[in-house]
Amino acid sequence: MPNELHELFQLAARFFYKAYKQGGGSQGKLAAQLGITNSYLSSVMGGARKASLELQIQIANRLYGPYDKFLIAGRKIKEGRDPLEKEKGKPLDPVEKLLAQLTHYVLDHQRIEQELQVSQEKYRDISLTSGDMIFEVDQDFNIIYVSGKVLETVGRNSADLLGRNIYDFLDERESLRLMDLIRVSIKKQNIIDTVLTITTDTEKKYRHLIAKPVFNSNGEFRGARGTYRDITKRKNLEKDLGQQNWLLQVALDSVDNCGIVISDAQNTVLKWNMEYKRLLNHSQEILKSRDALQYIAETKEKTANPEQFERHIKEAARSRSAITHTFELLDGRTIERKVIPLFKDDVLVGRIAHLKNIKKSR
């Protein structure tokens, strides 16, 4: 069929090209309009070269009209009929109807191929520039595609991964956990987003996995596609930070007779010790808010002179140096509060407040 369609194109092209030149057109003008050389156009019109579908469509539009009608004209020439005859009210015969359908099919197929090529190019660009390893597995979880940061992510080349099963790289515990996640993902058709722990004889590696299950038109599971990123450095930093936070909290809680609260420049409470909680007896809801302004507001309600307390708070907020004030609580205790602003490169980054009970309750 492709050869037959090309034959009809050639017949129509020769006919309408001749009419085009008789009407004052030239080979050079048509070649310029089509964006090709004179010699290339000459070889196409002479049959020495086969024009691409895209060029055929352009030639048809320039010389006559829509590609399907151009081919129908070629068929009329082949049958010895006038390609320009008008058959008003007469439906297309079966062959001409088929030609029209084939033309629309070919044009739609070309459009799909072009869209697919653009999609593939975008996917390739993403694969090359992504900081993740991109992968695909089949329904048995054998790796059938890897791209992107393969060596940086898993320390292996692509050839070492293709054909391997993903469970080959996991211990029994992680394998069972991932199986459960996959089972739920297939059932609910949702995305898996988890961190896998890869244990070796000498160390632990942490990999962030995001994967989407793939199904065929019948709804059958066919595999999964996703990304895989090495986050070992980040996890180790989080672990070190957690250890440092724990040590800092232990150090704060070991301070006797001094409540300590630390906040950042946005008034978010970062740390407080047990003595601070005991001194002011904040509600659990207020403590969980981590909002320094709420801490202050609740304390204000417990003071004997709220207006004076509020003036001290505003004065401390404006000060660029340590400032100390005292306030009396309704239960008779007197609290000394020292606020120390913290600066880095002359920019306020937070405050530390020390609170001491200097007068016991009545």
pLDDT in tens, 242-253: 888 888 888 888
Is the distance from CB of 184 to CB of 211 less than 8 angstroms? Answer: no
Report, as an integer, the average pLDDT of 231-237: 86
Tell me 100's DSSP state.
H
Q: Using CA atoms, how far apart are residues 59 and 45, in angstroms rounded to an integer?
A: 10
Q: Is a pLDDT exceeding 70 seen at residue 113?
A: no
Q: Using CA atoms, how far apart are residues 98 and 92, in angstroms rounded to an integer?
A: 9
Q: CA 160, 163, 167, 168: dihedral to nearest 10 degrees? A: -40
Is the distance from CB of 149 to CB of 130 less than 8 angstroms? Answer: yes
**Which of 225, 245, 311, 285 has the alpha carbon at shortest distance from 337?**
311
Is the distance from CB of 40 to CB of 49 less than 8 angstroms? Answer: yes
Q: Is a pLDDT exceeding 70 seen at residue 362?
A: no
Please give the pLDDT value at position 283.
87
Please give the pLDDT value at position 127.
47
> Scanning the structure block, which residue is given the tokens 């034959």?
7
Q: Which domains does the chain have, with CATH numbers?
A: 2-125 (1.10.260), 130-230 (3.30.450.20), 237-359 (3.30.450.20)
Q: Which of 43-57, 80-94, 143-157 tops mean pLDDT?
A: 43-57
Residue type, 25: G
Q: Using CA atoms, how far apart are residues 301 and 18, in angstroms rounded to an integer?
A: 99
Name 223's bridge partners. Answer: 138, 214
Percentage of the chain modeled with pLDDT above 70: 85
Residues 6+ apart with CB under 8 A from 152: 133, 230
